[in-house]
Chain A
Amino acid sequence: MQASSGMLTKFESKSSRAKGIAFHPKRPWILVSLHSSTIQLWDYRMGTLIDRFEEHDGPVRGVDFHKTQPLFVSGGDDYKIKVWSYQTRRCLFTLNGHLDYVRTVFFHHELPWIVSASDDQTIRIWNWQNRSLLCTMTGHNHYAMCAQFHPKEDLVVSASLDQSVRVWDISGLRKKHSAPTSMSFEDQVARANANQTDMFGNTDAVVKFVLEGHDRGVNWVAFHPTMPLIVSAGDDRLIKLWRMSETKAWEVDTCRGHFQNAGGCLFHPHQDLILSAGEDKTIRVWDLNKRTAVHTFKRENDRFWVIAAHPEINLFAAGHDNGVMVFKLERERPASAVYQNSLFYITKDKCVKSYDFQKGVESPTLLSLKKLGSPWVPPRTVSYNPAERSVLVTSPAEGGTYELVNLPRDGSGAIEPTESKRGQGNSAIFVARNRFAVLNTSTQTVDIKDLTNNTTRSFKPPVGTSDIYFGGTGNLLIITPTAVHLYDIQQKKTTAELAVNGVKYVVWSNDGLYAALLSKHNVTIVTKTLEQVSTLHETIRIKSATWDDAGVLLYSTLNHVKYTLLNGDNGIVRTLDQTVYLVRVKGRNVYCLDRAAKPRILQIDPTEYRFKLSLVKRNYEEMLNIIQNSSLVGQSIISYLQKKGYPEIALQFVQDPATRFELAIECGNLEVAVDVAKQLDRPKLWTRLSAEALAHGNHSIVEMCYQKLKNFDKLSFLYLTTGDNAKLARMAKIAEHRGDFTSRFQNALYLGEVEDRIQMFKEIDLYPLAFATAKAHGLEEECQSILEATGLTEDQLNLPTFGQPLTPPKPVVPTHEANWPTKATSQSVFEMALLGQVEGLSLEDEPAAAKADGEEDGAAREGALAEDEDEDGTGWDMGDDIVPEVEEGFVNVESADAGGAGSSEADLWARNSPLAVDHVAGGSFETAMQLLNRQVGAVNFAPLKPRFLEIYQASKTYLPASAGLPPLVNYVRRTIEESDPRKVLPIIPRDLEYLASNDLQRGYDAMKANKLEDGLQIFRSILHSVLINAVGSDSEVNEARKLISSASEYTVAMSIELARRALGAPNTVNADPALQKRSLELSAYFTIPKIEVPHRQLALLNAMKLALTSKNYNSALSFANRILANGGAAKILENVSFSPPITLINKHHQARRTKAQCERNPNDAVEIEFDQFAEFEICAASHTPIYSGTAHEECAFDGSKYHSKYKGTVCVVCGVCEVGKHGSGLKLFA
């Protein structure tokens, strides 16, 4: 039997004895009724007490939430049933009637009914809407301890201390109380009469079955949610399982184990399990089908009284002497591992599956792990090894076990692992591709094991190690309750340590530079050397995390997906309606596993965190992109930006003018501030703006502000300081106009207008001041007039002595005309980008880069093709090109010749293979030559030397081994998977595929570009390379043949044309009739070899032109006809459909014109040996025709034709074989 492992306590409360428990169906709430008369409402997720309800007198034994209404019901030892509203937080009403303690109360799942069981031996059904008693069920002859409605049918089950369990049929009651639809008179009569009781006073509810079997009183009874099963718990310490049919009910089996009274029992809502709680301080879990114990959970001191299950989620609650505990039977976190685009996870039925992120497809079951651990214990972790395609699964069963199994290449149904390696251990993870680490917590050892499950090394981890995680190559992260250690496996020591409490999970970033350490309420981000980067706290439990490719950590709590940047900035991405475990984030998709271990995709809006990330990284392009392409507006982002010191960026988002103004001021963007201020036109704003503008030195704005504010004094002073006397004068006028003398005085003072001042003093009867002013400035006349006006003489005045009269300074520079040098505004790169001022800022870069590699390859190839068409005939200025398709896919060569061991692998190659190439690679040049001589009559090996050495050089590698000794030589194979020394074969450089896709194309290019010498060399080298080569199948042998003959034809064709050119310059040739004849012949022969059509067109055009210039109209006509026939305009057009083939059109045009011209005069001026109607081939040596039917010789390798007289010479095409020597034929495939 399993000990307490597997049970996970989620919440515990401390209180007096808990007698009744009820889960809220939707919210994370639990009602607990206590022996102390209190009813508590807890949020078990947050661990907070939401409310207390205290109206009962004495212990409260039963509580229940209503499924949909904000109601709950309670029943207690005060004989009362109370119905409460938890919204208004009060008791709505009380149902009185029971004559003794009320033991349990339950709502009906759909009808407005409550069923109660009481010590008065009755079970009663109440209607809580009209608050009436509907029915009293009598029959038990001792306390009725528990009564519950059937979840679907019209049944009630009850348990009593009379040792019986009763099932009651209440269909009559339902009939009576359901709303009458259309009732006949008879029905109405029947209904009226139905209230007539039978002799026991019962009609509405009748006893259907009486289940007897318990030897003592029965405390609890419950229906199975779907099956016709009943479970009961009694003082006889037994849990009994009963089954019922339509007509009878019987005892199925008994679960024995409790050694004290069993107080509560129930069926697991989703699994085939029974849970029971007893006064022996245990909660026991039983297998419903086998009736065997699965788990036992023991509490030290508290007797259990009651147990309840959450209707939806995998949660249970049990009430005991000192409170309540909410627990889970098992972890719901599905074990999973991510590798590149695949998620590997273990389903609820213990099958390994994979999920492809790109395709969004779940694989079929890859592997079944049914046999791992015990049936009710799900695996805890899975670690994936991509190199070996194996998984390492741990299970907490049997004190911790691990199992290493290989995944099949393709899953097809549940496959039992063919071979697996297992052992004891609490954590097991891959640390290298061929090593894994196993932690055994009980012995506190970590073993490093190889793939055959042998321990290769073993060490003691730091004290108290609870878990291990991958720590980067060669390292482990060792988790202890208070710290995380980075442990170097090789050196067997801790290289770094970080004090973090209670780390439960470690999530590495995709680039392996950072790791997130998740504990219950904290996320700590560390570098790969275990230096703390940031940490954050969550009040809600943290469940999982995954890294964005950009280095943002997304984590999930019970009800949110959140993000955090490396600098610790975090926020909510979205809310969750159920707990999920994040495994991957890609763009807008978050991939996760739900608690049923089903992969799900959540849509998120990554804008916010991407924006913040680019802000941190100062990636303005990205920010600009985000701003332009998304609706990222919101107070939070604005305040974030402002807080982080990016007001200028925040400014871009804000619509609200007031905020805009604030931000504009903050970042010194006066233009915006002025705009907004004008818009709002509030004095307060102008004041702030003026101050800010003044600080910037932007006095024109300051002026405007003062004007708006009608702040004349300041305005005047501003004009003074800027030296704007004209405006100052106007200010004086305005002051005069306003009758503001102080202001007038000030302006006059600023302006140095003494008369004006005197005038003003006079106006306001301040003659003494006027006099003094005049006197001070030496204006005697004015003094006199003042004296006259006042009727005083100078003697009567007692004047102070005047100093120099004040004269305001004259402006030297008219600074008012332009602003002062202003403080640089913080116009950021970002802003400039936004204004389109930054060059080279192209947002189109990204999509291009995002293009898949494969596509690019394709595009490149297409591009190359297109280019071919464009550059078409650069050398010839005519013709176009067809790129022949390349056969792809090589199969490994297999060879089964016998061989021995003991000699070097190179020797084996020669023994293993009849192919010359393998002998060459093995360094056995002599035998290779023998083979070639026999196969194709090779005699002249000198041209093959580069090929021989090339192959030989590619065959061996040099592995540095012990210092001081030469490197170890190893032999490179093309049979990579093969280890049987009798089957290994060497690698061959430049295989057929390579030749066809590289050398051949180069040859074509040379032809097109009219570089015939190069072309000749290339095609010869192709011939040599194919001659010493190997292929993988018979069909490839044919490919090789085609390549040989093609290369051979090109070689002949090119040498003919080269021979023609060797005759001399056109002038000299045309001057000599013999040469001219030969030239024309050669140009005609050039059109004979079977080269690709576009190249042949080049040859034909060449021949046509020459014929035309030599007035050989008949020949020209035949070439023209061939061009037209060959071309098949449609066919060529097809090849070049996307680029208008100008040269092609020209060519055809030219041919047609020539044709028309020649048809008028179809005669040849120079007779040549070229019969356009005869069938013939060209002798490769003499470049003369070999008419069909005449005797000739061939090269056994390349198939070039020769006149008989050349027999025995070296073939001029391949330069290797003897003409006319017939061998066994080239062998390329064994």
Chain B
Amino acid sequence: MDPYSAEGELINIHNHFHQGQFPEVIDFDTSSLSPENALPARVLQLRARIALGQADDVLADIQGETDAHPELAAVAALAELALGRADEAAEKVEKLVQSDAAGENATVQVLGGTVLQAAGKSEEALALLGKHQGSLDAVALIVQIHLQQNRNDLAVKEVAAARRWAQDSLLVNLAESWVGLRLGGEKYQQAFYVFEELAQAPATSSVRTLVSQAVAELHLGRTEEAQAALEQALKKEPEHADAIANLLVLNAITGKDITELTSSLQKTDAEHPLLTDLAEKSDLFDKAATKYKAKVAAA
């Protein structure tokens, strides 16, 4: 039986992870799990710690165990990635998937896919993930990669296929909502429902779901509600880069001043795509602007 399915032992920890409730994942009591589920649970907890910025500790934690367990080797790669060493991480993964056994391992696929994608090797990531055997994590990752490549059509297909066998599982709903936010129209509303339900129920609420809800509301043009959700998120975690970034976008949309938010985002995450993108565009502007000048210089 799939341990992540609704009846499985790992359903709750797995859901916590994907709802962005990382502290709950780490605090999850794994002692009562059956032995075969202990490792997947540990991997989830390690991933949660990486997500909370404890990549160094994780590396130290699993040192020496990576040879025995390809899963942990993949976790190590992920930790490398989180520490900003994307290329080394990708190399590790590539080496890891050389062996067939490891390539068939769902955890390795998912973590490896993440690392490869983050290192810019989307094709390799997709190839690795394509080998999955009914892993929703892999599906969600594939969907995300398609969306990042702007292949909305492929993402839609992937979700539709998963919907057929995985029904109403959390990850399918999430992936569908990601696609929905890209497609727009009525899909905005549906995506909003999913995020809102997660964000507003105390059992599933987290900063990530709140931010997701806010993003959906932003796309729906409900700026006030989006603002409320983001403020709620920032209250929970004032340093959440995505929340700050989206609040910045929101303020830009509503015509408010954004300098303060820009600097606070700069402080929390200087590498945030919003900032890097903006810097790039700023250069582009300067370059493009030089092509024009007045016939007569100003007196």
Binding site for B on A (CB under 8 A): 387, 432-434, 448, 450, 455-457, 473-474, 488, 490-492, 901-905, 923, 925-926, 929, 933, 938-942, 945, 948-950, 952-954, 956-974, 976-979, 984, 987, 989-990, 994, 998, 1181, 1207-1210, 1212, 1218
B167 beta carbon closer than 8 Å to chain A: yes
- Per-residue CB proximity of B238-267 to A under 8 Å, as 1/0? 000010011011001111001000000000
**Given contacts A474-B201, A901-B153, A976-B220, is CB(A968)–CB(B147) below 8 Å?**
yes
Cβ contact of B288, chosen from A941, A949, A970, A971, cutoff 8 A? A941
- Rounded to whole angstroms, the CA-CA distance of A977 and B220 in the bound complex is 9
Cβ contact of A979, chosen from B17, B183, B258, B293, cutoff 8 A? B183
Contact A941 B292 (CB under 8 A): yes
B26-51 at interface with A (beta carbon < 8 Å) = 47-48, 50-51
Task: Give the contact stretch, choosing among B58-66, B91-99, B101-109, B211-219.
Answer: B211-219
**Cβ of A252 to closest chain B Cβ, rounded Å:** 55
**Cβ of B62 to closest chain A Cβ, rounded Å:** 16
Contact B218 A957 (CB under 8 A): yes
B208 beta carbon closer than 8 Å to chain A: yes
Cβ contact of B245, chosen from A457, A958, A961, A965, cutoff 8 A? A958
Cβ contact of B281, chosen from A448, A925, A929, A984, cutoff 8 A? A925
- Per-residue CB proximity of B87-129 to A under 8 Å, as 1/0? 0000000000000000000000001001101100000000000
Cβ contact of B285, chosen from A455, A938, A945, cutoff 8 A? A945
Contact A1210 B294 (CB under 8 A): yes
Chain A residue numbers with a CB within 8 Å of B184 are: 973, 976, 978-979, 984
Question: Nearest A residue to B282 by beta-carbon distance?
Answer: A949
B182 beta carbon closer than 8 Å to chain A: yes
- Rounded to whole angstroms, the CA-CA distance of A1212 and B284 in the bound complex is 25
- Rounded to whole angstroms, the CA-CA distance of A1207 and B50 in the bound complex is 62
**Cβ of A985 to closest chain B Cβ, rounded Å:** 11
Cβ contact of A954, chosen from B111, B193, B252, B288, cutoff 8 A? B252
Contact B299 A1209 (CB under 8 A): yes
**Cβ of A388 to closest chain B Cβ, rounded Å:** 8
Contact A972 B203 (CB under 8 A): no
- Rounded to whole angstroms, the CA-CA distance of A950 and B256 in the bound complex is 10
Chain B residue numbers with a CB within 8 Å of A904 are: 150
Cβ contact of B182, chosen from A905, A941, A1212, cutoff 8 A? A905
Closest 4 A/B residue pairs (Cβ): A979-B185, A456-B168, A1208-B295, A1208-B296
Chain B residue numbers with a CB within 8 Å of A945 are: 282, 285-286, 289
Interface residues on B, range: 35 or more
Contact A964 B294 (CB under 8 A): no
**Given contacts A942-B289, A962-B141, A964-B82, is CB(A957)–CB(B204) below 8 Å?**
no
Contact B255 A976 (CB under 8 A): no
Interface of B is mostly: helix
Contact B294 A940 (CB under 8 A): yes
Contact B215 A958 (CB under 8 A): yes
Some 19 contacts from A to B, beta carbons below 8 A apart, are: A925-B285, A929-B291, A929-B292, A939-B294, A941-B289, A949-B285, A957-B181, A959-B212, A963-B114, A964-B81, A964-B82, A969-B273, A970-B181, A970-B219, A972-B249, A979-B183, A987-B253, A994-B255, A1207-B296
Chain A residue numbers with a CB within 8 Å of B281 are: 923, 925, 948-949, 952
Chain B residue numbers with a CB within 8 Å of A926 are: 284, 288
Cβ contact of A457, chosen from B144, B167, B200, cutoff 8 A? B167
Chain B residue numbers with a CB within 8 Å of A971 are: 182
Cβ contact of B12, chosen from A491, A968, A989, A1181, cutoff 8 A? A491
Cβ contact of B278, chosen from A455, A940, A949, A973, cutoff 8 A? A949
Question: Nearest A residue to B196 by beta-carbon distance?
Answer: A433
Question: Nearest A residue to B15 by beta-carbon distance?
Answer: A490
- Rounded to whole angstroms, the CA-CA distance of A746 and B6 in the bound complex is 94
Chain B residue numbers with a CB within 8 Å of A942 are: 289
Question: Nearest B residue to A994 by beta-carbon distance?
Answer: B255
**Given contacts A938-B292, A939-B294, A953-B252, is CB(A963)–CB(B51) below 8 Å?**
yes
Contact A970 B182 (CB under 8 A): yes
Contact B273 A962 (CB under 8 A): no
- Rounded to whole angstroms, the CA-CA distance of A646 and B7 in the bound complex is 56
- Rounded to whole angstroms, the CA-CA distance of A1207 and B298 in the bound complex is 11
Cβ contact of B197, chosen from A455, A474, A969, cutoff 8 A? A474
**Cβ of A939 to closest chain B Cβ, rounded Å:** 5
B78 beta carbon closer than 8 Å to chain A: yes
Chain B residue numbers with a CB within 8 Å of A903 are: 150
B67 beta carbon closer than 8 Å to chain A: no
- Per-residue CB proximity of B51-91 to A under 8 Å, as 1/0? 10000000000000000000000000010011000000000
Chain B residue numbers with a CB within 8 Å of A959 are: 178, 181, 211-212, 215, 242
Binding site for A on B (CB under 8 A): 6, 11-12, 15, 17, 20, 47-48, 50-51, 78, 81-82, 111, 114-115, 117-118, 140-141, 144, 147-148, 150-153, 167-168, 174, 178, 181-190, 193-194, 196-197, 200-201, 203-204, 208, 211-212, 215, 218-221, 242, 245-246, 248-249, 252-255, 258, 272-274, 277-278, 281-282, 284-286, 288-289, 291-299
Chain A residue numbers with a CB within 8 Å of B6 are: 457, 492
Contact A925 B284 (CB under 8 A): yes
Contact B298 A964 (CB under 8 A): no
14 additional contacts, CB 8 Å, given A473-B201, A905-B182, A923-B284? A434-B193, A488-B203, A925-B281, A926-B284, A939-B292, A952-B278, A954-B253, A963-B20, A964-B47, A964-B81, A965-B148, A973-B184, A976-B219, A1212-B298
Question: Nearest A residue to B254 by beta-carbon distance?
Answer: A989
**Cβ of B209 to closest chain A Cβ, rounded Å:** 9
Contact B294 A1209 (CB under 8 A): yes
- Rounded to whole angstroms, the CA-CA distance of A925 and B290 in the bound complex is 12
**Cβ of A954 to closest chain B Cβ, rounded Å:** 4
Chain B residue numbers with a CB within 8 Å of A490 are: 15, 203-204
**Interface hub of A958, A973, A1208 (most chain B Cβ within 10 A):** A958
Chain A residue numbers with a CB within 8 Å of B219 are: 957, 970, 972-973, 976
Chain B residue numbers with a CB within 8 Å of A448 are: 168
- Rounded to whole angstroms, the CA-CA distance of A979 and B188 in the bound complex is 10
**Cβ of B12 to closest chain A Cβ, rounded Å:** 7
Contact A939 B274 (CB under 8 A): no
**Cβ of B240 to closest chain A Cβ, rounded Å:** 9
- Rounded to whole angstroms, the CA-CA distance of A968 and B188 in the bound complex is 15
Contact A1209 B296 (CB under 8 A): yes
**Cβ of A501 to closest chain B Cβ, rounded Å:** 29
Chain B residue numbers with a CB within 8 Å of A434 are: 190, 193-194
Question: Nearest B residue to A945 by beta-carbon distance?
Answer: B285
**Given contacts A448-B168, A929-B292, A966-B273, is CB(A474)–CB(B203) below 8 Å?**
yes
**Given contacts A925-B285, A929-B291, is CB(A953)–CB(B258) below 8 Å?**
yes
- Rounded to whole angstroms, the CA-CA distance of A987 and B295 in the bound complex is 34
**Interface hub of A473, A929, A933, A957 (most chain B Cβ within 10 A):** A957
Cβ contact of A901, chosen from B114, B152, B178, cutoff 8 A? B152
- Rounded to whole angstroms, the CA-CA distance of A969 and B215 in the bound complex is 10
Question: Nearest B residue to A932 by beta-carbon distance?
Answer: B292
Chain A residue numbers with a CB within 8 Å of B295 are: 1208-1209, 1218
**Cβ of A959 to closest chain B Cβ, rounded Å:** 5
Question: Nearest B residue to A933 by beta-carbon distance?
Answer: B292
Cβ contact of A929, chosen from B140, B272, B289, cutoff 8 A? B289
Chain A residue numbers with a CB within 8 Å of B291 are: 929
**Cβ of B118 to closest chain A Cβ, rounded Å:** 6
Chain B residue numbers with a CB within 8 Å of A950 are: 252, 258
**Cβ of B55 to closest chain A Cβ, rounded Å:** 10
**Cβ of B25 to closest chain A Cβ, rounded Å:** 10
Contact A965 B118 (CB under 8 A): yes
Contact A1208 B294 (CB under 8 A): yes
Contact A989 B292 (CB under 8 A): no
- Rounded to whole angstroms, the CA-CA distance of A432 and B196 in the bound complex is 10
Cβ contact of B200, chosen from A473, A925, A961, A1209, cutoff 8 A? A473
**Interface hub of A450, A474, A929, A962 (most chain B Cβ within 10 A):** A962
Chain B residue numbers with a CB within 8 Å of A938 are: 292
